[in-house]
Amino acid sequence: MEYWSIVENPTGEVYQQLIIVLCSYSDKFYFITRKELSYDMKIIKNFEPYIVETYKTKKWANTMTNGPSATVYVIDVNPETCLLLQQLANSLYDWVSPKLPEDLTFIKNNHPWFTSTAHEEFAIFSIRSDYYRNIMKKIDGLTIQMEE
């Protein structure tokens, strides 16, 4: 497994391309909300028809909390949800309270191949094959580096 981190926040057109690629090569994605933070619940309502499951946990993607459990919203990837992700933010790290849910994570075949923690400005690809490495590297303007 290789790990490639995003060096600078993808914004504008780079963010749009990133979301298109993530949606094109994923089965589902999730984001989380935390009880101790506030969110614009109208945003979450936009995704409601596409929610596959919700559950509470203290551990997800790159995070483990000692505080209250977070709510994970697992969402089907389709043209509508991809468009919502593109329209609701202008950058990857816009996905943070109080406006948007947090920690976008994209999954293919039950493997979280892209995870982010927006409030820490951290995002990483977990790559298992040349196929996904090549896809990731084709996003114009995306600044990434391999983790050692």
> Half-sphere exposure of residue 90, counting CA atoms within 13 Å on the CB side?
1
The candidate with the shortest Cα–Cα distance to 84, out of 9, 23, 5, 21, is 23
* 32-68 pLDDT tens trace: 999 999 999 999 999 999 999 999 998 888 787 888 8
Residue listed under structure tokens 């982010």: 116
Per-residue pLDDT of the chain (148 residues; tens, 9 = 90+): 899 999 999 999 999 999 999 999 999 999 999 999 999 999 999 999 999 999 999 888 878 788 889 999 999 999 999 999 999 999 999 999 999 999 999 999 999 999 999 989 999 999 988 888 888 888 999 999 998 7
